[in-house]
Structure 1
Amino acid sequence: MAETRWHQIDRYLYCTEVNQTFESPFGRVWDLSEHIRKRSLELWHPGKHLCVDEAIARFTGRSSEIVIIKTKPTPEGYKIWVLASNGVVLNWLFHAKGVGRGPVNLDFNLAETPEMPAFTPTESVPVNLVLAKDAAGNRLFPPGLYIVWDDNLFNTIPMLEYLRHEGAGCAGTKLAKERFNSDLVRLKTQFSHRLEWGEAYWALSQHKTVLQAAWRDSQVVLFATTLNNNALTIYTGTTYVQRRRRRPAEASRNKKPFEKAFGNAPIKLLGIPEMIDSYNHHKSEVDRFDQVRSYYSTQQARRRTWRPLLYLLL
Structure 2
Amino acid sequence: MTMEELLGIIGVMMMTGYRTTHNKKHLWSAKDDVSSVWAQELMPRNRFLELLQNLHLADNSNISKDRYYKVRPYFQHLNAGFKTAALTRNLSVDETMVPYYGRHSTKQFIRGKPVRYGYKLWCLAASTGYLYHAEPYCGADTQLADTGLGKGADVVLGLLNKCAVPPGHAIFFDNLFTSLELLDVLSDMGLGGCGTVRENRLGGAPFSGKKVLEKKQRGTMEWLSDGDNLVVRWNDNRVVTVATNCEPLEPLVTASRYVKKQGGRIAVQMPRPLHAYNTHMGGVDLFDQCVALYRSTIRSKKWWWPLFQWGVDAARTNTWLLSQRHAKGPQLPFLRELTYVLIKKNTVPRPPASFSGRHQAPEDLRYDGLHHWPAELKTRFHRCKVCNSRTNMSCEKCAVPLHPKCMKVYHTP
Q: In which range does the TM-score fall when normalised by the shorter chain?
A: 0.7 to 0.9
Q: Which has the higher helix share?
A: 2
Q: For residue 111 of structure 1, what is the aligned residue in structure 2?
A: none
Alpha carbons 2:296, 2:309 under 8 Å: kept: no
CA distance in 2, matches of 1:304, 1:296: 21
Measured at CA, do residues 6 and 73 of structure 1 come closer, stay the same or move farther in structure 2, by a change above 3 Å?
Answer: farther
Q: For residue 250 of structure 2, what is the aligned residue in structure 1?
A: 238
Q: For residue 64 of structure 1, what is the aligned residue in structure 2?
A: 105
> Which runs of structure 2 are paired with 1:221-260 in the superposition (5 Å)?
221-228=240-247, 235=248, 237-247=249-259
Pairing 1:12–2:19 present: no
CA distance in 2, matches of 1:178, 1:52: 19
SS at match of 1:177: helix
Q: For residue 168 of structure 1, what is the aligned residue in structure 2?
A: 191
String of CA shifts for 1:254-306, please: whole Å, max 9, x gaps: xxxxxxxxxx1432233211221111111110011111111222443331111
String of CA shifts for 1:206-232, please: whole Å, max 9, x gaps: xx311011101111111101113xxxx
Match of 2:283 among 267, 282, 285: 285
CA distance in 1, matches of 2:183, 2:96: 22
SS at match of 2:301: coil
Deviation at 1:141, TM superposition (A): 1.3
Runs of 4+ in 1 over 6 A off after TM superposition: none
Relative to the length of structure 2, the TM-score reads 0.61
Pairing 1:200–2:221 present: yes
Amino acid at match of 1:93: E
Deviation at 1:79, TM superposition (A): 0.4
Q: For residue 187 of structure 1, what is the aligned residue in structure 2?
A: 209
Q: For residue 132 of structure 1, what is the aligned residue in structure 2?
A: 162
Q: For residue 112 of structure 1, what is the aligned residue in structure 2?
A: none
Deviation at 1:181, TM superposition (A): 4.5
CA distance in 1, matches of 2:117, 2:87: 29
CA distance in 2, matches of 1:60, 1:299: 14
> Which runs of structure 2 are paired with 1:260-279 in the superposition (5 Å)?
264-279=262-277
String of CA shifts for 1:25-47, please: whole Å, max 9, x gaps: 521111121122122112x1132
Pairing 1:142–2:170 present: no
Alpha carbons 1:57, 1:312 under 8 Å: kept: yes
Alpha carbons 1:240, 1:273 under 8 Å: kept: yes
Q: For residue 176 of structure 2, what is the aligned residue in structure 1?
A: 153
CA distance in 2, matches of 1:153, 1:284: 15
Report the number of matched residues. Answer: 269
Deviation at 1:162, TM superposition (A): 0.5
Alpha carbons 2:180, 2:201 under 8 Å: kept: no
CA distance in 1, matches of 2:286, 2:138: 24
Deviation at 1:155, TM superposition (A): 0.3
Q: For residue 29 of structure 1, what is the aligned residue in structure 2?
A: 71
CA distance in 1, matches of 2:59, 2:162: 28
Amino acid at match of 1:84: A
CA distance in 1, matches of 2:136, 2:178: 20
Alpha carbons 1:80, 1:94 under 8 Å: kept: yes
Stretch of structure 1 that moved more, 71-80 or 267-276: 267-276
Q: For residue 231 of structure 2, what is the aligned residue in structure 1?
A: 212
Pairing 1:107–2:131 present: no
CA distance in 2, matches of 1:36, 1:156: 30
Q: For residue 96 of structure 1, what is the aligned residue in structure 2?
A: 138
- Supply the RMSD in Å over aligned alpha carbons: 2.1
CA distance in 2, matches of 1:227, 1:204: 12
Specify the structure having the higher radius of gyration (Cα).
2
CA distance in 2, matches of 1:21, 1:304: 16
SS at match of 2:199: coil
Alpha carbons 2:179, 2:202 under 8 Å: kept: yes
CA distance in 1, matches of 2:82, 2:204: 39
CA distance in 1, matches of 2:229, 2:137: 29
Amino acid at match of 1:127: L
Alpha carbons 2:123, 2:131 under 8 Å: kept: yes
Alpha carbons 1:187, 1:220 under 8 Å: kept: no
Pairing 1:54–2:108 present: no
Pairing 1:301–2:299 present: yes
Between the two proteins, what is the percent identity of the paired residues? 23
